[in-house]
């Protein structure tokens, strides 16, 4: 069976974007498209379906035709809160997550994460750029839902600390460092548009 049929893609768009003046980064336009559309176009073919984790602008995100899931925890508690909320509602065995502000995810993101997880018989696989882990690009088993719920309920928020409680595999993306380019400033937007136009 194609592993993609067992995976829900989760686009994490629930942050406050303080460095962007509080703008909803998923809706920031790069040239002629909101970033969320760029992510959807690349991510959707790799998974059975998508979920958008968002804490505002639900009416806008709903136009894309996917389930919109807000954090169960209030107060913008970080990416783990979005992952936990997604695990609660999925009908697949796994999720793969990507942030809404990284427009250069590769077409084999899910394949690489799934291959690493299977090779290590792990519960989690996480991308690595050659220097360090990129924890918001990860694959999680649905069976981790209760563990993550309990971790967040204890007041913890550090994603790598939760990973360390489970068997996790590293997916090597050192050959594709652009995967992890994310948008935090106006200069980042300009650079991303230039990179997209040069393709």
Tell me: pLDDT of 47 over 90: yes
Which residue is associated with the tokens 């697949």? 92
Who wins on pLDDT, 47 or 20? 47
For 53, 100, 167, the CA distances from 183, given in Å and listed in that order, are 18, 9, 31
Domain span holding position 140: 3-198
Question: Taking each helix axis from N to C terminus, what angle separates 145-153 and 79-89, rounded to the nearest 10 degrees?
Answer: 140
Instruction: Tally the C-alpha atoms within 13 A of residue 69's C-alpha that lie toward its C-beta.
Output: 24
Query: Based on the structure, what is the number of domains in the chain?
Result: 1
The DSSP secondary-structure symbol of 92 reads S
Q: What is the CATH number of the domain that holds 37?
A: 3.90.550.10
What b/e readout covers 143-176, taking b as 16+ CB neighbours within 10 angstroms?
ebbebbbebbeeeeeebeebbeeeebbebebeeb
Q: Percentage of the chain with pLDDT > 70?
A: 92
Who wins on pLDDT, 190 or 92? 92
């Amino acid at each position: 069976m194609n592993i993609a049929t067992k995976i829900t893609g989760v686009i994490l768009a629930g942050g406050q974007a303080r460095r962007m003046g509080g703008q909803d980064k998923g809706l920031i336009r790069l040239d002629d498209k909101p970033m969320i559309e760029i992510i959807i176009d690349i991510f959707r073919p790799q998974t059975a379906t998508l979920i958008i984790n968002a804490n505002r602008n639900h009416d806008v995100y709903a136009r894309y035709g996917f389930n919109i899931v807000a954090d169960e925890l209030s107060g913008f508690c970080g990416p783990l809160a979005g992952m936990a909320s997604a695990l609660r509602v999925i009908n697949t065995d796994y999720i793969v997550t990507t942030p809404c502000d990284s427009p250069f995810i590769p077409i084999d993101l899910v394949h690489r994460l799934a291959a690493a997880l299977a090779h290590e018989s792990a519960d989690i696989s996480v991308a690595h750029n050659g220097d360090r882990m990129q924890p918001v690009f990860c694959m999680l088993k649905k069976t981790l839902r209760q563990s993550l719920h309990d971790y967040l309920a204890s007041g913890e928020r550090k994603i790598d600390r939760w990973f360390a409680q489970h068997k996790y595999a590293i997916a090597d993306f050192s050959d594709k460092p652009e995967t992890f380019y994310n948008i935090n400033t106006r200069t980042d937007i300009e650079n991303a548009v230039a990179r997209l136009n040069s393709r």
